[in-house]
Amino acid sequence: MTVLIKTVSELREIRAKWRKEGLTVGLVPTMGYLHRGHQSLIQRAKEDNDKVIVSDFLNPLQFGPSEDLSKYPRDLDKDLEAVMQCGADILFYPSANEMYGADFGEQELALTMVVPPKDLTNTLCGLKRPGHFEGVCTVVAKLFNIVEPESAYFGKKDYQQLVIIRKMVADTNRNLQVVGCPIVREEDGLALSSRNIYLNQSERQAALVLNRALTLAKRLIDDGASNANDVVCAVTKFIESEPLAKIDYVSFVDAIELKPLSSITEPALLALAVFIGEDVHRTRLIDNFVYYNEKD
Ligand code: AMP
C-alpha cells in the first residue's frame, strides 16, 4: 500500500515513527509522470531500505523562463499506480507553496538557495540552462532535510545532476548515501524520459539519433579512437544528418570533475543534449554514456 502525502508535517511524523522503529529510508526524488526509469530507482531503493519515499514535485525553480514548466506532463493517478506497482511506501506530492512558502509565486523570489560550485555547472546542461542546478540543489537539499533518508537514488541519465548532488552531499557533510542507477531505455534504444510524450511519430523516430550517436562513439573508441575531439566531430556530423535534430551540445568530459577532455582517458562522459522537432514544438532530450568503469 502506498500512502499519498501532501504536507511536510505529515511526512515528518511518519518518518519520526520509522526512525524510532529503527527502519531505514530510501528517497527517490522525481518530477512525476513516472516511467520505468523512475521505477528502476524505486526498485533499487526497495532492495536497499526498509521503507521507500518517492517525491513527485514539479519543481518550478529548476525551469528557465522559456522552458516547458507550464506544459510538463502531470498525472497523479498514473504516478500513484506506478509507485504502488513497485511497493513504495509513500508518494510525497507537495504543492509549490508547501515547499516554498505561502507567498511563493506571488512576489519576487526571496528564498535561500543552494548554489553548487561553478566548475561543475559551467559545462553541459548547467551552461545551457542557467540557474537549473541551483533549482535542483535547493529542492533536493530541502527534500533531504524533510525526509532525512539513509540513501537517495538518482539516474545516470542526468549524469551532471548526479555528480553535483554527490558534491553537495560531500561538501555539506550530509550523512547519506547517493546511489547512481543505470539508464533505462526503450527496446529501440531511446532513453526513457517524461518528455518523450511530447514527440509525434516522426520526432519519436528522429529521437533515436541520440542513442545511435552514442553507439557510434562507442564503436569508434572500441576501434581505437583516442582523440576526444575526433569523436565529438563524428558524433556531431551524425546527429546533424537527422533533419529533425538540432544539437544543443555534444561534450566529452571527465566523468568525475566534468572537465573537458582532449584525449579519452577513463572514466570519460560523452553527454548529448539535442532538440528534436520543428522550432516552436521542439523537445530537448539528453543522453550519455560513460566510457570505462562506471562509478556507482
Ligand atoms: P525527473 O522526474 O526527470 O526529474 O527524474 C527523476 C529521477 O529519475 C532522476 O534521478 C533521473 O535521472 C531519473 N531518471 C529519469 N529517466 C531515467 C531513465 N531513463 N533511466 C534511469 N533513471 C532515469
Cell numbers given for 260: 573537458
Active-site residue, 38 included: yes
Q: Kindly give, in sequence order, each residue whose CB lies less than 8 Å from that of residue 124, ignoring residues fewer than 6 positions away.
A: 160, 249, 251, 253, 258, 271, 273
Overall average pLDDT of the 83-99 stretch: 97
183 and 156 Cβ atoms separated by less than 8 Å? yes
Determine the residue type at 172: T
Cell numbers given for 252: 566529452
210 in contact with ligand 1, CB cutoff 6 A: no
pLDDT attached to residue 105: 79
pLDDT attached to residue 121: 98
Q: Could you say which of 35, 38, 132, 281 is catalytic?
A: 38
Å from CA of 119 to ligand 1 middle: 23
DSSP letter, residue 275: E
pLDDT band of 123, cuts 50, 70, 90: very high
154 in contact with ligand 1, CB cutoff 6 A: yes
pLDDT band of 254, cuts 50, 70, 90: very high
Å from CA of 266 to ligand 1 middle: 24
| Strand partners of residue 269 | 253, 290
Nearest CA owner, ligand 1 atom 6? 30
- Separation of alpha carbons 190 and 205, rounded Å: 9
Which atom of ligand 1 is the closest one to the Cα of 184? 20
pLDDT attached to residue 117: 97
- Separation of alpha carbons 141 and 138, rounded Å: 5
157 in contact with ligand 1, CB cutoff 6 A: yes
pLDDT attached to residue 294: 44
Phi and psi, residue 103, nearest 5°? -100, 15
Does the pLDDT value for residue 222 go beyond 50?
Answer: yes
Nearest CA owner, ligand 1 atom 12? 155
Å from CA of 294 to ligand 1 middle: 17
Does the pLDDT value for residue 210 go beyond 70?
Answer: yes
pLDDT band of 184, cuts 50, 70, 90: very high
Q: Which of 170, 184, 137 is nearest to 42 (CA)?
A: 184
Which atom of ligand 1 is the closest one to the Cα of 158? 12
pLDDT band of 296, cuts 50, 70, 90: very low
pLDDT attached to residue 133: 98
Question: Would you call 69 helix, strand, or coil by DSSP?
Answer: helix
**Average pLDDT, rounded, for the chain:** 95
How large is the C-alpha radius of gyration of the chain? Answer: 19
pLDDT band of 106, cuts 50, 70, 90: confident
